[in-house]
């Protein structure tokens, strides 16, 4: 039944195999004022199971078209298994606190009209600034930033379990895969990564922190940028 068996299984040297009828969307990272917002993208087909390309070479992106078999895509997972809470650095703010594990996809939602999340932390005793910071951190597509209230409780957005294919026309690239709502992500060896509300997966095949996105699709060293699609 759709929903009950939601899962993303990473196939060895191949795509992400998604099961459980996980809704699939495309959204576009779009400048708005001094910050960014997510606009709706193409409508993508929905299915009980589907395979998402992670080598960055499919001619039918975001879906796998088995190009990885021809190119001999070889892909080792290198991400740490240390929990987010252990890896993240804690910074106290005036009204709320911040956890930051440094995992960045350069999706830029931490920038607001008033400044960055870090710059505003000391001003979060102001309710308007506090709401702005909670919203900006909650839009981070890797789950790098988490806001805590003064009781240590995570102030997370309520996200429907779903997958969002990100496009970044400002940077002239296709961006990563935004996994929302705690969908389990399983390695080829059967180990399951820590379940989180927001996670960014690599789909260009270039990340040095696989399976997670590390913004290699934007960074200078990745010259062979995928076409936006």
Binding site for ligand FES (CB under 6 A): 14-15, 53-55, 57-58, 64-68
Q: Does residue 37 sit in helix, strand or coil?
A: strand
Give Dmax over CA atoms of the chain in angstroms: 56
**Tokens read off for 102:** 């440094």
Compute the least distance from the CB of residue 54 to ligand FES, in Å: 5
Nearer to ligand FES, 64 or 140 (CB): 64
Q: Does residue 54 sit in helix, strand or coil?
A: coil
Buried b (16+ CB within 10 A) or exposed e, 146-166: bbbeeeeeebbeeeebebbbb
Nearer to ligand FES, 96 or 204 (CB): 204
Nearer to ligand FES, 4 or 76 (CB): 76
Compute the least distance from the CB of residue 68 to ligand FES, in Å: 4
Distance CA 99, CA 67 (A): 39
Compute the least distance from the CB of residue 184 to ligand FES, in Å: 20
Compute the least distance from the CB of residue 186 to ligand FES, in Å: 16
Nearer to ligand FES, 13 or 30 (CB): 13
Compute the least distance from the CB of residue 224 to ligand FES, in Å: 14
Nearer to ligand FES, 65 or 156 (CB): 65
Q: How far is CA 8 from CA 19, 21, 36, 75, 223, in A?
A: 7, 11, 28, 16, 29
């Amino acid at each position: 039944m759709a929903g009950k068996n939601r899962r993303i299984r990473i196939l060895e040297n191949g795509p992400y195999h998604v099961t459980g009828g996980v809704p699939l969307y495309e959204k576009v990272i779009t400048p708005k004022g001094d910050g960014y917002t997510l606009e709706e993208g193409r409508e993508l087909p929905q299915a009980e199971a589907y395979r998402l390309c992670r080598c960055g070479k499919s001619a039918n992106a975001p879906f796998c078209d088995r190009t990885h078999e021809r190119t001999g895509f070889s892909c080792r997972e290198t991400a740490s298994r240390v929990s987010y809470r252990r890896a993240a650095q804690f910074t106290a703010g005036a009204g709320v606190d911040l956890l930051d594990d440094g995992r960045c996809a350069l999706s830029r939602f931490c920038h607001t009209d008033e400044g960055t999340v870090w710059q505003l932390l000391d001003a979060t005793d102001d309710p308007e600034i506090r709401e702005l910071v909670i919203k900006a951190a909650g839009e981070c597509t890797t789950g790098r930033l988490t806001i805590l209230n003064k009781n240590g409780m995570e102030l997370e957005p309520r996200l429907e379990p779903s997958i969002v294919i990100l496009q970044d026309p400002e940077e002239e690239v296709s961006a990563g895969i935004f996994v929302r709502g705690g969908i389990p992500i399983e390695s080829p060896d059967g180990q399951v990564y820590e379940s989180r509300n927001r996670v960014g997966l690599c789909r260009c095949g270039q990340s040095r922190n696989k399976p997670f996105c590390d913004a290699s699709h934007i960074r200078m060293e990745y010259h062979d940028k995928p076409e936006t699609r």
